[in-house]
Structure 1
Amino acid sequence: MSNPLALAVLACLWEKPMYPYEITTTLRQRGKDDSIRLNFGSLYSVIKSLQKHGLIVEQRAEREGNRPERTVYEITDDGRTEAHDWLREILAVPEREYPTLEAGLSLVALLEPAEATDLLRARVASLDTTIASRRTVLGRTREAGLPEIFAVEADYHLALLEAERDWVERLVERLDAGTVGGQDMWARMHALLAAGKPVDEIEGELVDEIGAANLAALDELATGHAPPPQPPAPR
């Protein structure tokens, strides 16, 4: 199990047996769909997977009036154990995530520097709007007396948005000032492309300019650890 929606389903059924639509309604009423991707199609797949692994079981089938029959599910003892163990791991062990912004930054050289800078500037403006809205909502929940623990994930999300906004703004400022390392090379690459120079020739020039040592450092940065030591060259 790796989908956080499965953990949310286990958490709902921990409270009481529910049918799928009730689970969806409960998660949405509590604002959990802001932290966990939720749609009805994936919910049914998750439920079937949980059932297959023996973490939930069908408790009963019920029908109201002329509505279709619905299945009520309940959590098993194994499901309670799995929910506890899974949540402990999520909270304690950092996991590699893949934010779309990080993916975009890793491929930003496909765009010209000026265009990339304008797009990042637009992102800052969009983040400003989102942050202001979330601060307002979070403030209202606090004024209403909602205990902090019930909105702690919203506070975390706001902190991430604020950190992203500040980081992107600093990058835009440096791009405007032309102080980002390699920015001139980036601009020259696009100038050569516009002039019709073949991509492989441009890549060869860039590799020569960057140098083997810097390329090795780039590999280390990408993997997050130093490469294994190489044996000494034979004399």
Structure 2
Amino acid sequence: MAKRRKVGNLLALAVLSYLTQGPTHPYDLGRTLRAHGDDRSIKFTHGSLYMVFQQLEKAGFVAPVETGRAGLRPERTVYAMTDAGRRELRDWLRELVAEPEHEYPRFVTALSLIGALPPDEVAALLRTRLDRLTAHHASSRQEIDKALAGDVHPLFLVEEEYRLALLDTEIRFVRDLLGKIAEWHSAWSAAVSGGQS
């Protein structure tokens, strides 16, 4: 079972992870996250990043080590991870890797309610989704191959490989569902037309 964390936002986990490399300022870390493609895995804005640093400081996981101003720029505070932050990082990562957790993807919600649409419309929408999934798959494969050719260690591409495996699974699922819709067509059409007033 997932432990209740003082700071439960996954962006905080990314912050702690990057702080293992040394102290940094939130703005600089935001640029690093984007440069490393982490914005594909973790949703954030610069404002949310500053807020997470404040939450981590309040929890005792990071501490300011330097504050300065360059020219007319606003004052900048550089943060470092504390010993408590290191323990939290390791404990949290262990939990996320070992413990499966139920998630609520938007597509699953749509599938649970899909019977409200006519089968022909659903089939057309799924074909559109299939085209987009196939394009995402090709793009991800290309990014992985490019990174590997650039001597990026495969360890740093694990999340992309996982994303690719999910795309493979969803592509197979959508193709199978399209076949089932053809089988269910007449009963489904009758159910949808019977529910319309």
- The TM-score, its normalising length taken from structure 2, stands at 0.92
Measure how far apart 1:189 and its partner are: 2.4
Alignment of 1:180-191 (within 5 A): 180=184, 184-191=186-193
4+ runs of 1 displaced by more than 4 Å? none
Aligned to 1:135: 141
Alignment of 1:208-219 (within 5 A): none
Alignment of 1:79-94 (within 5 A): 79-94=85-100
Measure how far apart 1:136 and its partner are: 1.2
Q: State the SS of the aligned residue for 2:49.
A: helix
Paired with 2:110 and 2:86, the residues of 1 have a C-alpha distance of 39
Aligned to 2:195: 193
Paired with 1:142 and 1:73, the residues of 2 have a C-alpha distance of 32
Paired with 1:141 and 1:17, the residues of 2 have a C-alpha distance of 27
Of 143, 162, 173, the match for 1:167: 173
Measure how far apart 1:184 and its partner are: 4.5
Of 42, 60, 70, the match for 2:66: 60
Q: State the SS of the aligned residue for 1:58.
A: strand
Aligned to 2:10: 4
Paired with 2:158 and 2:137, the residues of 1 have a C-alpha distance of 16
Aligned to 1:14: 20
Unaligned runs of 5+ in 2: 1-6
Alignment of 1:23-102 (within 5 A): 23-102=29-108
Aligned AA (1:159):
A
Unaligned runs of 5+ in 1: 197-235
Measure how far apart 1:147 and its partner are: 1.1
Describe the superposition over 1:86-113 as per-residue Cα deviations: whole angstroms up to 9, x where unpaired: 0000001101111111111011122112
Of 139, 144, 153, the match for 1:147: 153
Aligned AA (1:156):
Y
Describe the superposition over 1:10-35 as per-residue Cα deviations: whole angstroms up to 9, x where unpaired: 11112111111111111111111111
Describe the superposition over 1:28-85 as per-residue Cα deviations: whole angstroms up to 9, x where unpaired: 1111111111211211221121111111111121111111111111111100000000
Alignment of 1:86-125 (within 5 A): 86-125=92-131
Measure how far apart 1:187 and its partner are: 2.1
Measure how far apart 1:185 and its partner are: 4.3
Q: State the SS of the aligned residue for 1:107.
A: helix
Aligned AA (2:18):
C
- The TM-score, its normalising length taken from structure 1, stands at 0.77
RMSD: 1.3
Describe the superposition over 1:89-147 as per-residue Cα deviations: whole angstroms up to 9, x where unpaired: 00011011111111110111221121111111110011111111111111111122211
